[in-house]
Amino acid sequence: MTEKFEIYYLDDEQDLCDIVEEYGEIANIAVSTFTNHENAIAACADTEPDILFIDYRLQGITGDKVAQRISDAVTKVLVTVELQPPTLAGFSSVLAKPFDLKDFLEIITKYREAKF
């Protein structure tokens, strides 16, 4: 991949962040991960990613509240174990937990192809 396409992933489970970073390396996609939602919000304000993956159940806050604080220009994907998430407002897609590399790349490919 030569075109710049940047992914942010927010989840308070460090192991899942590590896994997603490795998925990024395998797929040659720039992936930055965050276990703290304030850091993720600050990073989005600084440099908008193409996609922000947000886990629904975060420490002290839910993913939809985080999404509300981020620019509409950022494509947001809700990552969740919920069969029926309480809200999908502000999200473009849902990635069901647990997921593997194939599931993760499917979503990225969809938005990447739309961009380029």
Partner 1 sequence: MQQKMVSLGELAASMAHDINNPLGVILGYADLLIQTNAVAPSHVKKVESIKKASARIQHIVQSLRKYSRTDSEKKFENCNLQLVIEEAIELARPRLKNESVEVRLQNSVIGEIFCNHIEIEQVLLNLINNSIDAVSRLDDKWIAIETIAEPDKYCVSITDSGLGIASELQYRIFETFFTTKTADRGTGLGLSIIVGILEEHDAQIDYLLNNGHTCFKLSFNKA
Binding site for partner 1 (CB under 8 A): 13, 15-16, 19-20, 22-23, 26, 57, 81, 83-84, 97-101
Alpha-carbon span 70 to 40, nearest angstrom: 9
Whether residue 37 contacts residue 66, with contact meaning beta carbons closer than 8 Å, is answered with yes
Query: What minimum distance in Å lies between the beta carbon of 112 and partner 1?
Result: 19
Query: Cβ closer to partner 1: 8 or 99?
Result: 99
Query: What minimum distance in Å lies between the beta carbon of 62 and partner 1?
Result: 12
Query: What minimum distance in Å lies between the beta carbon of 46 and partner 1?
Result: 28
Whether residue 10 contacts residue 40, with contact meaning beta carbons closer than 8 Å, is answered with yes
Query: Cβ closer to partner 1: 45 or 86?
Result: 86
Query: Cβ closer to partner 1: 14 or 68?
Result: 14
Whether residue 6 contacts residue 107, with contact meaning beta carbons closer than 8 Å, is answered with no
Query: What minimum distance in Å lies between the beta carbon of 30 and partner 1?
Result: 18
Query: Cβ closer to partner 1: 19 or 54?
Result: 19
Tell me 69's DSSP state. Answer: T
Alpha-carbon span 98 to 114, nearest angstrom: 25
> In angstroms, what is the C-alpha Rg of the chain?
13
